[in-house]
Structures are given as structure tokens and as C-alpha cells.
Amino acid sequence: MTMASALTAAGSSPAGAAGAQGPAQSSPGAGSSPPGKAGRGAASVELLGLGSERSGGPLRGGHSPSTPGWVVSATSTQAAGGSGGARARCSSPAWPTGPGGTDSSSGGGGAPGLAGRCGRAAGGSATGLRGGSSSSSSSSSSSRLVLSASAGARACSFFLQSLTTSFMCRWRPAPLLLLGALLLGAALAVDRSNFKTCEQSSFCRRQRSLQPGRSPYRALLESLQLGPGAATLQLVNEATKVPLLLELSGLRENTTRIRIRELHPLRPRFEVPDVLLGEPQPEPLTVTGREEGSLELALGPGGHRLLLTAKPFRMDLLRGRRLLASINARGLLVFEPLRPRPGSFSDKVSSSLGSLWDKLRSLFYSDPPKEPAEEEAAAEGQEGGEGTENTDSQSEKPTEEATEEPGSWEETFKTHTDSKPNGPTSVGLDFSLPGFEHVYGIPEHADNLRLRTTEGGDPYRLYNLDVFQYELYNPMALYGSVPLLLAHSARSTLGLFWLNAAETWVDISSNTAGKTLFGKLLDYMQGGGETPQTDVRWMSESGVIDVFLLLGPTPAAVAGQYAALTGTQALPPLFALGYHQSRWNYNDEEDVAAVERGFEEHAIPCDVLWLDIEHADGKRYFTWDPSKFPQPRAMLERLAAKKRKMVSIVDPHIKVDSAYRVHSELRARGFYVKTKDGGDYEGWCWPGSAAYPDFTNPEMRAWWASMFAYEQYEGSTENLFTWNDMNEPSVFSGPEVTMHKDAVHHGGWEHRDLHNLYGFYVQMATAEGQIQRSGGRQRPFVLSRAFFAGSQRYGAVWTGDNAAEWEHLKISIPMCLSFGLAGLSFCGADVGGFFKNPEPELLVRWYQAGAFQPFFRAHAHLDTVRREPWLFGEENTALIRAALRRRYALLPFWYTAFYRCHRHGLPVMRPLWMEYPEDTTTFAMDDQYLIDRALLVHPVTEQGARGVQVYLPGKGEVWYDVDSHQKHHAPQTLYVPVTMSSIPVYQRGGTVVPRQDRVRRSTECMKGDPFTLYVALSPQGTAEGDLFLDDGQSFDYATAARYLHRRFIFAGNTLTASSADPRGSFETPAWVERVVILGAGKPAAVVLRPAAGPEARLDFQHDAETSVLTLRKPGVPIGADWAIVLR
């Protein structure tokens, strides 16, 4: 969720919002709640956003005021009653039975349907930003203060000047509605002026002004030291004489680590903690060659060699005779050392004391042997005819200060000044990748999967930001950042993992003519002509250079190497793979109950209902609005009775209110981020004035985790999970809608050093809280908008605040593919688009696409028309229902795919080139993809489409249409006609896909249901697949080996079932209901051979036209060993 068209003050005066030069301050204005009475009978003041007049109200309707003028709403609410729990049941009369059996539990009646109510609501209430709507219910009363046009204009102007993100006040007179609509259209796009370009970011501007050429750095080969885990040697900048320390490590899993630090820093520089699983295990390095000006190192047993050239400094990494990558080949290494500010008092004192000390020391001490870098620097000074004293003389200081780059020591963007107490500290390094034309990764960007050249434009930016309705196909920063880039060719795959959490820019260019003589010689040696090359340049504002080269050589190997460093995707609880219904906002307990009834009445499966920020008492997280949600525990128990869950939002900005216990404890414990002057950092966000917990502090994270205990989070139950939004962090009054870079975190580190880690830590602490509340047994579910490398260990992510547009549907595919390549497999996009109102065709197509993406949630902005699945006519409801049921039928396949991802690191949703690395046709393809290795999906993403072009990869392979079962030989491109019910999906020949085809309301109701195995035969008549089963919610699979992992192999006309991992065991009543074999001939007989007991003949049906053989009710337990023989 983004700061949209307005601001809800929600109980605090906006008077402190105009914090252009500093954090906003809370003040007790109209609507603030007295201590002890927060949210009950209190007034809330809202500046209403310019939104749809048909939008956002509760399902029971509402009204819109018609009074002209600028409207400020003041609403007084009273607590409403609630009802108790309900008996557990998994079906109702509206739920049909699946093939082969009936639902075992009885149903219950439902309240009247939602369609009529939603029809009335659609014409009803107008809402303010996050304000909901005015209700006609007797449980609340409202009054409205109507300002004059001039006063309203001043109020709106004030807010616009206060915040960096634009929003609007609402003008009521009808003649201005057209103007309002035009203004809203303009507002519903990113305001680029709120976000920096490279030219406006001083360190990016400085580094980009450095053109490729001869590097000023020289490696001092005589300083080489070989240790048990690394080789170290010194580098010296021949212009500044500043020495650096280079550390090279060959790691297990075919990985090389390169670290560059200052040899003698004035103070420590930030190095990213907590992202790596641990210190990587090194392999011993050996010197295998040495010549004047260069040396050669062998990097462990993988056959990789590193050629290190001294002057100018560069490194070339080879596998055998093949050059994989060159480091600093273009001479763009940058390492700005820490230093006193030129002309500052400390600089002058340091120089004076140093000179005095040198004179005293010369009287009593002889000089010790010099470090190699110092000796080199002294020699350079002698050769230049000037002593080192001359270099540092005070007479040079004015010249040095005069030539200082603008923005080095202080930088202003719009009205915000960054003080930069440590001065310029940026780092950068270039990598040349010969033989690679295609590079991928570095999410998050709303762009194609294959990264484009950045020549002539901005680099790709990695800086977590709250971006209001992002633009497509550009390199602007978005909500999350993973500094992992993959390069792929038909010969090999490699990865570059740049471990730096500061603001980072990545330049990409294609280059063949610019290759060095060394590269051209290698081309000649390798027997080729001019080969393509991609050049990648990393630029970060602070920290050190710490980069991992993931050497593959296959896509699967690179995925495994990255997973070995940062971890694999957490295995989600099974319910999290079901369907999630969300909206900003479901208004109260009655609204939640009405939506839940709608799924029952229309027989549509759903696992989770979501509550956005309006559920909390005045945006005070860990609380419930007592007038809207007076009995949250009873509400959650009613959902649990239907085997459903709920997710509530908990954002990391905390309302500054002395009566709010969470705030008081954080302040008393000193757990907030600090300003550069030592006070608690405050900014403006949803609650008004807000402070920000310092999640980099382990003690703070432990305290935050404790807040999810049931006794701390009152009203919470075990079926309540969490959504972390706005955790970039979002600060409406801050520069670029985020935190000031000179804010101070635990350990004295500036925010600039670790900005991209903030959301990572928020999700980490929240997930830990859910684990702790269950005594360490239950798996958490946490959705986070911001992320970094390693976030995959803690939950799910999504693509952020998209729009109800066809292009946004289309871009969700490459965005999630990019996430997966960076380890974040549990990704999805807001179905239907967050902003704007989707037409029925777009909504249906989005449900169909979302059903085949890992995280499946519908979500919408407050000002959009209600869009629950049954509100668009029965024909569209049937299409959406069918898409959702397809998702649920395939949940065993999805869950097994996530288990393999959790074990090995391969993304669940993956580009075709990961499975077909030599097929160049797939390298730039991002409109179709694979789920695991078995299903190929091509969603329909064009309006009015009558057909799609589907490419089926794999020489000598076959694919089967999952609907018609028609067999297609590969490789080929098919034109596939589509209707509104079409979802082009193909099963790969040689695979087995498990399904559960019974129709249930939720995943929990599917436990114990029978399985159908879809066996798609290869041209050789073989197939293989697996199934993972456990309780779907606990860590027992890992701690107690309570699981089943079954393997199914078809060969020699026999399908066998056996254990894929005999270490696990798990009791389940589930059995095999059907086996469907695609591409099979008609047998004379089919025989079942159980592990124990006599053989039995099975009934079968064969379709000669499609070559589909169906075996009905083998009746064997899914966890048993057996064989089925075709005779």
C-alpha cells in the first residue's frame, strides 16, 4: 500500500507534517484521543482524497455528502456487539462434490448473498484516504465540518507542501468533478520528481563521470599472503596513495569471493551482517604461476584460475582456457576512503599533531619497516621530486577543498539536506562478461526479465522506496532490492552477488568492439571470432566491496550456489498457497462475515481474509478498532470454524502517542531509530506523526517478536498471520518518501549504510514472533513489501501497488520470474490491480494468471469499486470459480514444488532457459514460464485476445495440453486459439503431476482427500514425478522427520510408487483415486501389485483419439509401495 491521494490524520494534528527540514512532530489537535480512551467514542479528522464516488464503502452501503466545499470528516463511533464462534465444518449445500466421493461433513445455511448489497454499495459511499466510508448503520454517528473554498484550498496547499508525495483534497461541486477526474488521472502515476536520478545522486554522478580507461590502482604483488581461507594483498591508488586490502577466497560450491577494504580506515566501514547463512567455507588457494607484474591462483578443485595483473590492477577468471569474467578490466574500481573534511578543525588538528609527532618521534625512535603500500607511496613521492610532506602540506588544503565535488560532504534534494558527516564513501567495481549477451536479476524493477543496456539513460537503481503507482519498463527503484545479477549463454551460467545494503546503481552495457587485447587473444586461443560481451558496473554509496562470483556452470548450479550463501525459500504453510481475499479495507466484523459468506454461497474456495490498516485503533498496530472490531477473537474463531485464516497488517511506523503502550515501551527502552542529533527519529505516515523502531538492533527485534504473543497482541489467535507493509521504510515527510540517510541506527551506523536491510529485518522479526508464539512448532506466514537478499527465509513478497491495466498484468510475469531468480520464489501480484477498477475481462484474465503464480491474492485500493469474485455477473463468476478450483486441484503439485525449492534453491516459477539452457529461443522469453519442471504456462494478457503464440521447448520432447490432452512434439511454436475460459497450460512429457480434484472450501479441508496422478509419457514411454506430504503447518517435517516424500516412476509399462526419502514417515488416510496416463496405448489388462497382498485387476478406460488411459480407483494408500502393470 502506498501513500495515495490523501492523508488520514487519524487522531493527530497535521501541524507537524511540514517537516521539510526535520521530522514531523505530533501535536494534540482536533480528534486526538484522551489517555485511556483511544479510538472509543473518539473523533477522527480526515482530509478526504479525490477518489471514486462509487467506491470503497462497506457492503451494506452508505451515503455521500452533497454539501459543496472542501470537506473534513469528523466521525464519532461507538462499539458494536459481536457473536460467538461456530462449529467446524468443511462444506455447505452450495459446495459440490468431487469425482469419486462426497464431502464428509454437513453444511449449514448462509445469509443472503452479497451481490445485491454490493450493487447498492457501488453507487454509495465516497471515502477519504484510508478513511472507509460514512455508514448509515445505527452503531455510528457522524458530523462534517465544511470549510470555505479558500480555507480548504489553504489546507490542501499546506499538505501538498508538507509531503513529498502528491495527494489531493476533494471538492464537492459537480462542475468541478471533471477537473477532479483529470487531476486524479495525473495523480495516478509516479511523480518522478520525488525520486532521484543518477545525476541527482552525487556519488552516482561522480562514479559515472569516471570513464573507462587506465585504472589508477596497482596491486603490490610482493604483499601477497596465503592463509588457510584466503589470499590477501595490498592495492594502492597511485593518485591518492591510499592503500586498500584485497582478499580473495575460493569457496565450496564453485564460488569465488572478492573483498576490498581500506587497509587503515579512520573508522570501521559497514559490512552487511545477518544475510549470509554463516561464514562461507573456503577452499585452499595455491599460486600456480608467477611472472613479472602478474600471478596466477588456482581457486580450489573446480578447475578455475584467477590471473591477477598488477599494473593497472585487474583480475581475469578462467575455467580451463575459457575466460568467464574480467574484474576492473575497464578501470572503474572506485573506493572513496574515509577522511576528515577538508579545512575542518579536526583535519587541521590532525595535520598539526601529526607533524609535531613526526618531529618528536625522529628525536627518539628509528622508523620500523614500512608496509608495502606505504613504501610504494614514498617511492612515488621521491620519483616525483617531491617529498610526502609536500603532499599533505597545509598550502595544498585550499586547492583540495576548492576541487571537492559538489555533494561530497552535504547534499540537498528538494527541501531535504543530507549532512554526510563521513563525507564521500562510495565504492564501485566493473565486471566484463565475455560470451554473455543476456543478463537477468537485480529485482525489483517493473521491466522485462532480460535486463536492458543502460547506456543513454539511468542505471538500474537498488534503493527500497515507496513508489506510488510505478511506471513500467524503466530502471527506477521500487520496494525491494536483491543485488544479484545472473548472466546466461548457451555454454554456461554465472552470477554476481554484490553484498552491499546501501543505495546502489547498476550500469549494463553490451560491448564487443571495446574488448581488451587480452580478451581478443583469448578469443583467438579459444578458436572463435569476435564474441559478444556484457559489461556490468556496480556503484554503492557506502560500505565495502564484497562480491561473490557464482561460477555455475549451469542455471541449477548457480541457484544452488546462491542458496548456499543466503538460504532457500522457507517452506510455507499449506494454507498460504491457497487463495487470499484482501482489500483496503474490510470495514468491520459484519463486512468480514458477509465476504466470508459470499465464498460459501458461490462455492468458491478461499483460505485467507485480510485486514488492512483501518482495522487498527487509529493506525495503532497490535490493536483493534473497538467500534469496528469489538470482538476480534470471536471473529477469528468463526473463520477457524470454517477452516480459514486471517492476515492483519502490522506496519513498522509507530504512532507517537503517550497513551499507546507500544510507543511508550519503545521510547522507554530506547529502541527507536535516532536522528543525527541523538533524538528519536520521527516522520509522517499513516497514523500522523510516527517513530520508527530500529530493527537493526537485535534486542529491539526480540522485543518486537514478543509482541506477537497472544497475551501481548490482544484478540489474536493461532489463525492470525501478518502483513508487513510500508517497510522500505516509508516516511511521507522524508526525502524520496523514506528515511533520512543521516539517521542513526544501533551501533552508530548511518541509515545510508544499511537502508536496504530495514525491510529484511522487519520481516525477520515478525516471522520470529509468529514462531515463538507457538512454542517454536508452527511455521509463520509473513508478507513483506520490502526485501533484500535472504528475505526468502522469512516469507512471501509481492510486486507492490500495481494498477488495473493490461500492461500491469503482463509485467507481473517477468517481475515474479526475476524475483525467483534472486531466491524469492514466493511471489505474486495484486490480482485485478491495486489502483483503478478492472473491466470484467481483465479481472477474469488476472485470476487465470494469478492461479498459476506462487502467491495468489486479490487486493484493491480503498477508492476502487468492490470486486469480490461474484460481483461481475454469473458468467464471469463461473470463470473465476473455475480458475480458483484449478489452483486448488494442483496444490499437491505446488506444495511439492515448494518443498524442492526449499531443499535445493531452484525457483518454483522459472524461465524456460533454466530447464533448456542451450535453447537460445528462450533467452529473452518472459510471457510464458515453467512451474517447477513439469508445467508450462502461457497466461492470456492481451485484451480481446483470440489466440496466443506458445513455444514448446525441448528437442525430441513432447508436451500435452492439460485440458484436451492433445500431444505436441517439440520444439515448435503453436498458435493456440483461446476463449474466455482458456488458460494455456501444458504438461511436459516424462513427468508425473499429483492432483486433488475434490472441491473444498479451503486447503485444511483437503487433508485426507484422495489423489489423482497425471502421468505424461515421454517419447521413450517413461515418466517420473514426486509428492511431498506433511501436516502442512509445523516444523515437524524438519525436526521430527514427520513427512512422506513419494516417488512415482513409469518405465517398461509399469508405474511404481516408492519412497523418495526413507528417513520420513507420516500417517495419512489419503489414497490414489485415479491414474491418468497421457500418450498411452490400449492395454489388454491392467494389474495392481501391492507391496503386500495379492494382485488385482483394475478397471480402465482408453480414449483412442487422445491416447489417454484412465485407471479408476486403484484404492492403494498414497504412502504405500505398489506397482501398476499394463499388459
pLDDT digits (tens, 9 = 90+) for 573-602: 999 999 999 999 999 999 999 999 999 999
Please tell me the predicted confidence (pLDDT) of residue 525: 56
pLDDT in tens, 195-239: 999 999 999 999 999 999 989 999 999 999 999 889 999 999 999
The predicted pLDDT at position 383 comes to 38
Instruction: Check 447, 535, 657, 801 and give the catalytic one.
Output: 801
- Beta partners for residue 647, in sequence order: 610, 721
| Residue 526 pLDDT | 54
Instruction: Say which residue, 1127 or 57, is predicted with more confidence.
Output: 1127
pLDDT higher than threshold 90 for residue 44: no
Check pLDDT > 70 for residue 286. Answer: yes
Q: What is the pLDDT of residues 865-895, one digit of tens each?
A: 999 999 999 999 999 999 999 999 999 999 9
348 pLDDT band (50/70/90 cuts)?
A: low
Look at the chain and count its residues. 1127
Separation CA 440–CA 767 (nearest Å): 29
DSSP, res 928:
S
* pLDDT (0 to 100) of residue 301: 82
Taking residues 649-654, what's their average pLDDT? 99
Residue 159 has pLDDT above 50, yes or no: no
Backbone torsion region of residue 1101, taken as left when φ is above 0, otherwise alpha when ψ lies between -120 and 50, otherwise beta: beta
**The pLDDT of residue 469:** 87
Beta strand 1086-1090 with 1072-1078 is: unpaired
What is the pLDDT confidence band of residue 398, given thresholds at 50, 70 and 90?
very low
Chain centroid to CA 348: 47
Strands in 185-303 per DSSP E? 217-226, 231-237, 243-251, 255-262, 282-283, 285-291, 294-299
pLDDT digits (tens, 9 = 90+) for 952-966: 999 999 999 999 999
Coil, strand or helix: which one is 456? coil
Give per-residue pLDDT as tens, 731-745.
999 999 999 999 999
Question: Residue 1127 and residue 1116: Cα distance in Å, rounded?
Answer: 19
Higher pLDDT, 391 or 417: 417
> Residue 708's pLDDT is what?
99
Whether the CB-CB separation of 51 and 167 falls below 8 Å is answered with no
* Residue pointed to by grid coordinates 534503493: 463
pLDDT in the model for residue 94: 53
* Residue with grid cell 576490498, as numbered in its chain: 260
Cell of 307: 590471473
Strand pairing category for 1072-1078 and 796-798 = unpaired
pLDDT, average across residues 167-171: 32
Whose CA is closest to 581, among 608, 559, 556? 608
842/831 Cα distance (integer angstroms): 10
Known active-site residue 801: yes
Q: For 45-104, write each residue's pLDDT tens digit.
A: 333 333 333 333 433 333 333 333 333 333 333 333 333 333 344 544 455 544 334 333
Q: What is the pLDDT of residue 189?
A: 72
| For residue 528, pLDDT beyond 70 | no
Cβ pair 1111, 1124 in contact under 8 A: yes
Confidence of residue 519 (pLDDT cuts 50, 70, 90): low
pLDDT band at 565 (very low <50, low <70, confident <90, very high): very high
- Say yes or no to pLDDT of 522 above 80: no
Amino acid at 574: L
Please, which pLDDT band fits residue 1093 given cuts at 50, 70 and 90? confident
Model pLDDT, residue 146: 34
- pLDDT confidence of residue 1111: 98
Catalytic residue among 657, 725, 961, 1026: 725
Give, as one character, the DSSP assignment of residue 1094.
-
Give the pLDDT confidence score for residue 703 in this predicted structure: 99
| Gap between the Cα atoms of 551 and 487, Å rounded | 10
Q: In the prediction, which pLDDT does 343 show?
A: 76
Q: What whole-number distance in Å separates Cα of residue 572 and Cα of residue 898? A: 8
617: pLDDT strictly greater than 70: yes
Helix pair angle (698-706, 661-669), 10° resolution: 160
Q: Is the pLDDT of residue 372 over 70?
A: no
pLDDT at 308 over 90: yes
**Confidence bin at 377 (pLDDT 50/70/90):** very low
Report d(CA 740, CA 984) in Å as an integer: 48
- What is the percent of the chain with per-residue pLDDT over 70, rounded to a whole number? 76
Around 471, how many Cα atoms within 13 Å sit in the side-chain half-sphere?
12
- Please, what's the b/e burial string for 628-658 (b: 16 or more CB within 10 A of its CB; e: otherwise)? bbbbbbbbbbbbbebbbbbbbbbbbbbbbbe
627, 43 in Cβ contact below 8 A? no
Q: Residue 377 has which C-alpha cell?
A: 607511496
User: Lowest mean pLDDT: which of 205-214, 497-506, 608-617?
Assistant: 205-214
Q: Please state the rounded mean pLDDT for residues 688-701.
A: 99
Per residue in 259-274, pLDDT tens? 999 999 999 999 999 9
Mind listing the domains of the chain with CATH numbers?
Answer: 14-163+571-889 (3.20.20.80), 202-272+279-336+423-566 (2.60.40.1760), 934-1126 (2.60.40.1180)
Q: Reading across the β-sheet that carries 985-988, which strands appear in turn? A: 909-910, 929-931, 935-937, 985-988, 958-961, 967-969
What does the mean pLDDT of the chain come to?
84
